[in-house]
A and B are shown apart, each in its own frame.
Chain A
């Protein structure tokens, strides 16, 4: 999903897809553990379509082997979080940039 854009699907197909996601606020706990600050209010720019929005506005798919964060505009994978017993793997390569306000 990071390297291959959706193929062979028309707008009609895209309209027919169903969703099993929650909003980006669901990431709060995962990201707080990693960044030690609330990242759901951080502003990210999608590496797929360029949409800029707070992470809380992204779509989070959790019924999967890991957590997948997708752009609400184009469904591009913004990030993935996989938790193993001894480590957590974070990939935010789908975000062109991310801007987080520092705590006071």
Chain B
């Protein structure tokens, strides 16, 4: 058997230029969780957006579905090194949810049922780059993958796409979230391989 050469590895990489550095491709959809999975009935689900002045917008399930819906196909990149390409989602753009919010804040903290938090600059959620998704592959989003609804920020590592989303808080000061305070990078850009503090 001929030895595997470095050239062979190079051709493999050339065949998957869509993968960020250090990632490998999966066909299944791994489930990662830092705690028990909340099972939130849609009729008791709610989403709030709270500005730095305390003003709050609130949607229940029906009101959320009455907003303009978008279908998107995006690639997912988990910091644990798996990537899944071409995933199909339906949800509401953050541009829609934040359209009527008056704010001068530059940062957002996402809050989940169960207590998880993650932070990102407001600008990372705007300009058609992020959604609150409730449907995956034409099926209601399962609790294991963050249903009834999760944040979807596909251009950042997947820990930023908070499962079981229930709130977005706009803050003038950056407030690192659950993983960001425990060693993971504050920004989490997979194309710059921003995995850990100092990357």
Contacts and interface: CB of A to CB of B under 8 A. Distances in A.
Interface stretch (B65-73, B86-94, B112-120, B133-141): B112-120
Task: Determine chain A's interface SS by DSSP, over half rule.
Answer: loop
A9 B38 contact: yes
Interface string B171-199: 00000001101111000000000011110
B107 interface: no
Contacts, number: 104
B32 A3 contact: no
Interface stretch (A15-23, A37-45, A96-104): A15-23
Interface residues of A, number: 34
Contact of B197 (A2, A3, A89): A89
Contacts of A1: 34-35, 114-117, 178
B11 interface: no
A89 B39 contact: no
A65 B179 contact: yes
A9 B38 CA distance: 8
B44 A65 contact: no
Nearest to A64: B34
A48 B120 CA distance: 27
A8 to B, nearest CB: 6
Interface residues of B, number: 35
B39 A66 contact: no
Interface in A39-69: 61, 63-66, 68
B115 to A, nearest CB: 4
B82 to A, nearest CB: 12
Contacts of A64: 32-34
B183 A17 contact: no
Nearest to B179: A65
B40 interface: yes
Contact of A4 (B35, B44, B46, B115): B115
Kindly list the 9 A-B residue pairs having the minimum CB-CB distance in the complex, ordered from nearest: A89-B183, A82-B183, A84-B196, A17-B36, A1-B115, A16-B39, A64-B34, A68-B34, A80-B182
22 contacts: A1-B116, A3-B117, A4-B117, A9-B40, A13-B40, A13-B41, A20-B31, A63-B31, A64-B32, A65-B32, A65-B34, A65-B79, A65-B80, A65-B159, A66-B179, A70-B35, A75-B36, A77-B115, A82-B196, A85-B196, A87-B183, A89-B197
Interface of A: 1-9, 13, 16-21, 61, 63-66, 68, 70, 75, 77, 80, 82, 84-89, 91
Given A1-B34, A64-B32, 14 more contacts: A1-B114, A2-B181, A3-B117, A13-B40, A20-B31, A65-B80, A66-B184, A68-B34, A75-B36, A77-B115, A82-B179, A82-B183, A84-B195, A87-B183
